Amino acid sequence: MKKFIIIIMVSAFLFLNLGSDVLKKSKSEVSFAKYGLFKTERTEVVSPLIKRTDSNDYFKGKGLLNKLAAKVFFKNGEFTKIIDLKKKIISNINHKKKRIKEREIKKIPGKTEQEEEAEEGDEGEESDVTVTKNKLTVSVTGQKKVINGFPSREYIVLWEVEWERNDGPEKGSSKLVSNVWTTPVTRMIGTAQKAESVFFTNYMKALGLNTDFKQDEILGGSWLRIFGSLSKSSSRQDSEKAAKFRKELLKIKGYPVIVDGEYYTAKTGAKKKKGLKGLLKKKKKKDAEEKPKFTFYTEVLELKLKKSDASDYTYPEGYKIK
């Protein structure tokens, strides 16, 4: 599980090149109905063995607990992260505090034979729910427009899951709706795409993971695994659908410029709580179900090849290194 999480986190933000360095500017926004809103603007410069990300991050939590969590996990302000595979160092720079934290890139310990056997045994276990519907469709809307200089066309990705408990009347559903705008793969974009695998593969090797990155993972397997974990289907049921879903996702042609998604859930038949508190909670839950559980939005503002120099990866003067 630890390896899987790291692979997903890395592949979600990589955007690299082969011969020249790649410069990419983007903005992203994730809103959780219960927890708050996170926004970031990023500028990335990447070569096969080093990557620098400058970001301006903003998080607004909901409720006292989430505001406290925001101070610990979600820092507001301007930050820089440098992943240097030559030196095997990851540097996190806080510009407000003028502080640099360095940590070594270490290989992730492998699993023991007992852990591997335990996981193999779990694959055969039955789920406590039955998935009655698990369908993914990609539609071409025919809509076209120019986004940040990229001629783009629109696709709609709809993923619907319905389930019911085997031991009771409880039923539920989830729905993921994504608007994806893509631009044709030019020679420059193709160079950047090919280079994604270079840095990613090098990074995975530094972590001790023999994982080859494929471009279709951006809208393919990675997306299926991420949102599959949100559904009630078992790993075996997911794997049976994976090939069909991947084929459907490959209808999306071009490079993603905008990905705009909403995730909804609903549930019926659960045990009801009595009294005023239960009624209030029921009303609150009903209102929440009419709104997305969370939304996400990412947009590529600029993408080009460039030649970097040492100044792109050097520390600012006067900062303290920890």
Over residues 72-107, the pLDDT tens digits come to 666 789 999 999 999 999 999 999 999 999 999 998
Average pLDDT over the chain, rounded to whole?
78
pLDDT of 298 reads: 94
pLDDT at position 286 is 52
pLDDT of residue 238: 57
pLDDT value, residue 41: 96
Q: What is the pLDDT of residues 23-81, one digit of tens each?
A: 899 999 999 888 888 899 999 988 888 899 999 999 888 776 666 665 666 678 999 99
pLDDT value for 181: 96
Q: What pLDDT is stored for residue 186 in this prediction?
A: 93
Query: Of 166, 179, 138, nearest to 232 (Cα)?
Result: 166
> What's the predicted TM-score (pTM) here?
0.76
Ranges of residues in the chain with a pLDDT under 50 are 1-19, 113, 124, 215-222, 226, 230, 234, 287-288
Domain boundaries, the chain: 2-109+127-321
Instruction: Provide the token pair at 155.
Output: 């696709």
The alpha carbon of 173 is separated from its chain's Cα centroid by a whole number of angstroms, namely 22
Residue 194, pLDDT score: 74
